[in-house]
Amino acid sequence: MTAQVASAESSGQEPASDTILSEVRNHIGHITLNRPQGLNAINLDMVRQMQLQLDAWAKDDTIYAVVLRGAGEKAFCAGGDIRSLYESFKHQQTDHQDFFVEEYALDLTLHHYRKPVVALMDGFVLGGGMGLAQGADLRVVTERSRLAMPEVAIGYFPDVGGSYFLSRVPGELGIYLGVTGVQIQAADALYCGLADWHLQSGRLEDLDRQLDALKWELTALKDLQGVLAKIAVQHLPDPPLQRLRPAIDHFFALPDVPSIIEQLLQVTVFDTHSWAVDTANLMKTRSPLAMAVTLEMLRRGRHLPLEACFDLELHLDRQWFERGDVIEGVRALIVDKDKKPQWNPPTVLALDAEHVASFFSGHEA
């Protein structure tokens, strides 16, 4: 869903036809998310427009590849337009239910697309933006990229395939990213396998020029890789998570969220104690229920294929607006902005294992 809790205002401020821009140049279909003032957060209408365009291009033999990008310099996509989903639920409408079904279908379309997809992950790539980008074949980050799945900050869980792509990040790094909701930059994105190439943002226009002039010779994917190989790199030095990896692998393999926080505060792994205390304090601000469900979801996701992960997330979605913390989280952080969410339960020590397990009841893996 969304990962930038203070980003987009409610949908409906822009003409629907202008929120998704598409054009074809040199056999490449270009899709631009065009809500820069809302950090390109996506709503139901935008999901539907993208789905229609991708379906059309999939059948068009003159289209060899697709490029996804966000308008402006601040964001590729800061997630789903969570305020509109909040309003849908509050007014007993169905848009919030339809949104998840159709957003997940769009994400699956990208994962299985029969033509190579390039995602230009410049700026914020959060929540639903990660759902779009992680289905791409070539994921490009810049020095401005900020990647995260911080749904737990608004009392939600990392969806849009997060149970699949986070659970497959090496070691316990994906668990750490999902349960804490922290942002990472380009070097860590490459290290975690959540991006493939790094390109300086100043060279994005150069990339466009080279794509416009590309002479198609091999397979479309290889031709695109050849362009990127000339102007981008696949590794950056000294990713911060590499140094923290032993500590993260220790703490986030512990059985449950209370154990993780307790050990972060009491146990020192190498020279990471300051980071551990900061992490524990951050987790104390998150929804305890959302963190606990996220931990269980990601551990289940490790053993599930992609489609089953989306199915699991949809199973959780169908309960979450009624039983989870997301309505309170959005109220406190986006609507009323008092920044004092009343989580239920209020602390991790009050978590009930049976209650957490009940969210997964009835789901067939």
Check if the beta carbon of residue 64 is closer than 8 Å to that of residue 216. Answer: yes
- The 3-state DSSP class for residue 88 equals helix
Long-range CB contact pairs, 204-212, < 8 A, 24+: 204/120, 204/122, 204/142, 206/231, 207/120, 207/140, 207/231, 211/25, 211/26, 211/28, 211/67, 212/25, 212/26
DSSP secondary structure string for all residues of 119-182: EEE-SEEETHHHHHHTTSSEEEE-TT-EEE--GGGGT----TTHHHHTTTSSTTHHHHHHHH--
AA letter at 330: V
| Contact by Cβ (8 Å): 341, 330 | no
Of 297, 171, 190, nearest to 239 by C-alpha is: 190
DSSP string, 250-286: HHTTSSSHHHHHHHHHH---TT-HHHHHHHHHHHTTS
Q: Which residues are catalytic?
A: 80, 128, 151, 159
Distance separating alpha carbons of residues 285 and 14, to the nearest angstrom: 34
End-to-end CA distance of the chain: 22
Q: Is the dihedral of CA 42, 148, 161, 136 positive or negative?
A: positive
Helix (H, G, I), strand (E, B) or coil at 65: strand
Q: Both tokens of residue 261?
A: 């926080």
